[in-house]
Homo-oligomer: A and B are copies of this chain.
């Protein structure tokens, strides 16, 4: 359960950045629905085996960004507002971001020993098995 929100200690990317990405992604893909409660700061820290401060900073940052809403003594929840942001980004920007994502993904895949062709083949196979 709760396999979203994971963090990789081997990844050189800072934990706070990984966690923020994970939460943003979970919200965007609606694995975290609007109004849903996130794990408490302390609980998530224990789950991910990271420090509570790190989690707290991410929550605070995401609240500043308008994605989350926190109520003391209650918990942290997914706020209503969203969606417009990604659509309003320009085409060039989106392309650049896709490029970044692809670079990361391919680099990680090649570390596993896959060639570019093999990765492409794998992704192609996903196309058929999806809806």
User: Which A residues have a C-beta under 8 Å from some C-beta of B?
Assistant: 8, 11-14, 16-17, 20-22, 24-25, 27-29, 85-87, 89, 94, 97-98, 100-117, 119-120, 122-124, 126-127, 130
Q: Are B87 and A98 in contact (CB under 8 A)?
A: no
Q: Are B98 and A114 in contact (CB under 8 A)?
A: yes
How many copies of the shown chain assemble into the complex?
2
Minimum C-beta distance from A28 to chain B (A): 4
The A contact surface, by secondary structure, is helix
Q: Are A111 and B86 in contact (CB under 8 A)?
A: yes
Q: What B residues does A8 contact at CB under 8 A?
A: 100
Cross-chain pairs A/B with CB under 8 angstroms, 6 sampled = A25-B103, A29-B110, A86-B112, A89-B113, A117-B127, A119-B123
